[in-house]
Structure 1
Amino acid sequence: MSERPIQILMIDDDEDDFFLVTELLRDISPGQYTLEWAPTFQKGINAIESRTHDIFLVDYRLGPNTGIDILHHFQEMQYQMPVIMLTGKGDYAIDREAMKAGAYDYLVKGEITADLLERSIRYALDEYSHLRSIEESEKKYYGIFEKAHDLIILADCDKNIVDANPAALKIMHYSKEEILRLHLRDLFLSKEQSEQFLNNICSDGITGTQEYEFKTQEGKKLVVLINAVMLDEAAQIFLCVIQDITDKKREEQEKQHQEKFVITGRIARVIAHEVRNPLTNILLAVSQFKEEEEVLASEDSNLYTDIIERNCSRINQLITELLHSTRMMELHPAIYGINTLIENALQLAQDRLQLHEISLQKNLVVPDVLVNADEEKVVIALLNIIINAIEAMAPGKGILTITTKRNQGRAQVQVADNGMGIPEDKLARLFDPFYTSKAKGTGLGLTSTQNILLNHKGTIHVDSEQGTGTIFTITLPAQ
């Protein structure tokens, strides 16, 4: 029993029926119910609008109006409350109509007993409580579904997408209509990953959180964590909660690059110290050796000593270049527009662009984004990337796309080519000293580029797909 009496409103133009119901309620449990009477349709409407009652007993016949009109008024108010319709004997069509209009139950006048009345009231109140619980759960689910930052996707037993929240539409760049036409496998970047995921969800009905690669409508790669579970066993509907960790993975990768760069610099300094000392001794010994008159008379000896000197000088030069590409450098910064720096780098690359017949497309942000940079060094870094892009493309078929924009307080530059692309296993080594795929390259260009950007508190990231092309993304702190 509740702490306060259950408030009942009876809308009925027959006072005898009101007294009958009053007596029946007293017989059920004195003090458990409070009954208020509205003898006319309008008084009933006024009482309903006070919103103070827990349940309503409504007579079907109310002068020129009916109890169905009362139910329609509840709908207009968007006020869902338990209503029990009181009808005459044999009015089965009216009973069905009342239930369709929202009545919870009906009682036939002349057949109402205390037990029947109590059962109907209890049933209506329990059903109302149950429906409210469902409605609250639906509201909570809807709020989570609509406002969640993670991607939420519902799919049916055939793995067709049946719903997607706004975050999924925004991040994947689909409209609601477009994504509902897709199969779950269409979201995965690789067929192998999609089959692995679908096999797991089909066999177990649940998957642990695993990392996968998705693709947006434009084909851009997203790194995601997916947690999927069967939501409705009977309807075979399952829920996928998908967390986009692309930026997080990129930040981790950039952090690894920085740590790796620091270690490389330390190793380079150790190598320079340990190698240059014996190199100096070798060169001194060769010099002394050549001064001997009997040695000078031998052409073979001259040939061998020249080879030793030349290669010692080459080793010394490589050590010097390694030190320059990995050491902290002195900067002379000033304020420049990122577009200005790009234009300066493109000017230096103009001959190569023309020689390889490269088509240049520029998407430069307006207004320009200002950065505090050492112009000479940043232009060298940009030039290295532009030259790499040019050399990766087929002459006469290459398209170089330069894009600048402001992104979360940073100036961002993207240098994209439609070249051969870089294999996945080589991407991790791209900035390593002396790593190169060029026949005549030293493998220090990108190492030096990374050093320049790190000294400017910037970042560099590479996305590549074989046969499609490569995108270098550079960021610098914006003013």
Structure 2
Amino acid sequence: MKNTRKRILMIDDDEDDFFLVNSLLQDTAPDQYEVEWAPTYQKGIAAIEKKEHELYLVDYRLGQYTGIDTLRHFHEIGYEAPVIMLTGKGDYAIDNEAMMAGATDYLVKGEITGQELERAIRYGITEFKHLRLIAENERKYFGIFEKSHDLIILADCDKNVIEVNPTAMRKLQYTKEELLTMNLKELFMNETEALQFLLDICEDSAIVHKEYAFKSKNGQKLDMLINANKLDEQLGTFLCVAEDISDKKREEQEKRNQEKFVITGRIARVIAHEVRNPLTNILLAVGQYRQDEQPSPEDSSLYLDIIERNCTRINVLVTELLQSTRMLELNMQEYPANDVVKRALALAEDRLQLNGIRLLEHYMEEEATLLVDEEKMNIALLNLFINAIEAMTPGTGILTVSTQMGQGKILIRIGDNGTGIPEENKSKLFDPFYTSKAKGTGLGLTSTQNIILNHKGTIQVESALGEGTLFTITLPLV
């Protein structure tokens, strides 16, 4: 059977004292404690170094040594344990010295009762466990505080900085002393933004994942993603944890710039290709016209027709490109979301019947309203319906149309069971003049994307070869 008694070591050169203490404990709390005896300072030190006891009773006077020497040895070997000092009557100076040296408590010999002794021991062991648990938690959280890669700032009710971690000092380029003399709003790049932050934290008690701009000591802008919480409602203290996203935003901007450069180059190549053919015809006609010294009226008319026809072609290409990509002037009105889709779908009804396409519709039951330019939205949705119809095999095609509401947005999904889109072509799908159709202009999806973006929405595509394609349009609710 496991021994559950708490082990106590008594260091005392008087055997009678040991006998009395042991008897008092056994009478008060039988079988609760196991008291062992070390009759000399040296034997006490040897037992302490084994670290086998839960509490130590130490007599102040141990020959040429004192109980204070014993307490110092605990510190020297880095051993923490509860120690109760046993002192003589009236040794108040010794009592104070013992407590200052780290003793848990002190008891006066000759005045100890069994209940007082047991209570002191029980309290000493329990309190020590609590203090050790608190110390471990403090070390754990202090380690997180010290080693965190995020800036951690603690502020008081007046928004004055009262504590910062090393990352905050390094990022903001202030010393700790400098930061502890500052108000939190001084760390913001923009005063209006700072005041709004302080207002939000006071009203909501929490700020979750919001971006703000801090400034370092030398005025450098630091983009921060901040989480803040009130720690004490009455005191008004709050904790601010800020992630420096400056490098991340810079990388994202560089990536966007590179993507714009790639898209611009692709558009330039497409335009060059589309314009070069009619331009070549114009140059050939002009060259032929010059070669003939006196062209007949019939030949002159032929050359001029070629030039005019190809100039018109170039003009149409440029006009279509501008119309598909320019910012639109929208006539916005409120419409039920389901009606917006149904009206656009009605425009494709003839094509659906002609190609024998089966239509599956799933509309949300909730009443939701969109703010749209109906004419423009009809164009955008009709382009998607037509593309889906043309991608499917007549007689076996299934067009699926659905609406759904979530998180303040409306999702419109348009799916087909057609041929699908190769992975390498997905990134070019919305580029001007890109088309897989023999007679397509390559501007339909460009125009669709432009309309959706002008409505502050987004459009995404999922596709698998041989399985079909799904377009998802996301639009904000009114």
Checking the alignment, whether the CA contact within 8 Å between 2:29 and 2:118 is kept in structure 1 is: no
Structure 1: stretches of 5+ with no match in the other structure: 294-304, 320-479
TM superposition shift of 1:39? 2.1
TM superposition shift of 1:20? 1.2
TM superposition shift of 1:131? 0.7
Tell me the residue number matched to 1:422: none
Question: 2:202, 2:3 → 1: CA distance?
Answer: 50
TM superposition shift of 1:207? 1.6
Q: Deviations over 1:320-355 (max 9, x none)?
A: xxxxxxxxxxxxxxxxxxxxxxxxxxxxxxxxxxxx
Q: Deviations over 1:184-204 (max 9, x none)?
A: 222221112211222222333
TM superposition shift of 1:211? 1.0
TM superposition shift of 1:182? 2.7
DSSP 3-state at the match of 1:22: helix
Number of residues of Structure 1 aligned to a counterpart in Structure 2 = 301
Question: 1:173, 1:100 → 2: CA distance?
Answer: 40
Q: Deviations over 1:274-332 (max 9, x none)?
A: 44455566677888999999xxxxxxxxxxx9xx99xx8xx99xx9xxxxxxxxxxxxx
Structure 1 residues 2, 245: CA separation in 2 closer, same or farther (over 3 Å shift)? farther
TM superposition shift of 1:139? 0.8
Tell me the residue number matched to 2:48: 48
TM superposition shift of 1:98? 2.9
Question: 1:107, 1:79 → 2: CA distance?
Answer: 22
Q: Deviations over 1:407-449 (max 9, x none)?
A: xxxxxxxxxxxxxxxxxxxxxxxxxxxxxxxxxxxxxxxxxxx
Question: 1:203, 1:97 → 2: CA distance?
Answer: 51
Tell me the residue number matched to 1:148: 148
Structure 2: stretches of 5+ with no match in the other structure: 295-303, 319-478
TM superposition shift of 1:61? 3.0
Structure 1 residues 2, 227: CA separation in 2 closer, same or farther (over 3 Å shift)? farther
Structure 1 residues 236, 93: CA separation in 2 closer, same or farther (over 3 Å shift)? farther
What amino acid maps onto 1:156 in structure 2?
D
What amino acid maps onto 1:228 in structure 2?
A
TM superposition shift of 1:236? 4.4
- The 5-angstrom pairing of residues 427-446 of structure 1 reads none
What amino acid maps onto 1:60 in structure 2?
Y
Question: 1:191, 1:145 → 2: CA distance?
Answer: 28
Question: 1:226, 1:72 → 2: CA distance?
Answer: 47
Tell me the residue number matched to 1:205: 205
Tell me the residue number matched to 2:167: 167
DSSP 3-state at the match of 1:10: strand
TM superposition shift of 1:35? 1.4
Structure 1 residues 38, 141: CA separation in 2 closer, same or farther (over 3 Å shift)? same
DSSP 3-state at the match of 1:163: strand
Question: 1:87, 1:204 → 2: CA distance?
Answer: 57
- The 5-angstrom pairing of residues 334-413 of structure 1 reads none
Q: Is the radius of gyration larger for structure 1 or structure 2?
A: 2
What amino acid maps onto 1:150 in structure 2?
D
Tell me the residue number matched to 1:333: none
Q: Deviations over 1:348-383 (max 9, x none)?
A: xxxxxxxxxxxxxxxxxxxxxxxxxxxxxxxxxxxx
What amino acid maps onto 2:102 in structure 1?
G
Q: Deviations over 1:221-244 (max 9, x none)?
A: 221111122345565443222111
DSSP 3-state at the match of 2:9: strand
Q: Does 1:129 align with 2:100?
A: no
Tell me the residue number matched to 2:103: 103
Tell me the residue number matched to 1:12: 12
Tell me the residue number matched to 1:59: 59
Q: Deviations over 1:100-121 (max 9, x none)?
A: 3322222232332332222111
- The 5-angstrom pairing of residues 316-331 of structure 1 reads none
Structure 1 residues 245, 3: CA separation in 2 closer, same or farther (over 3 Å shift)? farther
What amino acid maps onto 2:223 in structure 1?
V
DSSP 3-state at the match of 1:162: strand
- The 5-angstrom pairing of residues 275-354 of structure 1 reads 275-277=275-277
Structure 1 residues 257, 132: CA separation in 2 closer, same or farther (over 3 Å shift)? same
Question: 1:11, 1:218 → 2: CA distance?
Answer: 62
Tell me the residue number matched to 1:229: 229
TM superposition shift of 1:250? 1.8
What amino acid maps onto 1:208 in structure 2?
V
Q: Percentage identity across aligned positions?
A: 64
Question: 2:114, 2:277 → 1: CA distance?
Answer: 109
Question: 1:277, 1:109 → 2: CA distance?
Answer: 112
Tell me the residue number matched to 1:433: none
Farther off after superposition, 175-184 or 191-200: 175-184
Tell me the residue number matched to 1:434: none
Tell me the residue number matched to 1:26: 26
TM-score normalised by the chain length of structure 2: 0.55
What amino acid maps onto 2:68 in structure 1?
I
Question: 2:234, 2:73 → 1: CA distance?
Answer: 37
Tell me the residue number matched to 1:241: 241
Q: Deviations over 1:67-91 (max 9, x none)?
A: 2333333334443211112233444
TM superposition shift of 1:137? 0.9
DSSP 3-state at the match of 1:81: coil
Q: Deviations over 1:25-62 (max 9, x none)?
A: 32344443221212233332333233222101122333
Structure 1 residues 285, 162: CA separation in 2 closer, same or farther (over 3 Å shift)? same
Task: Please give the root-mean-square deviation of Cα atoms over the aligned residues, in Å.
Answer: 3.5
Tell me the residue number matched to 2:453: none
Question: 1:21, 1:76 → 2: CA distance?
Answer: 28
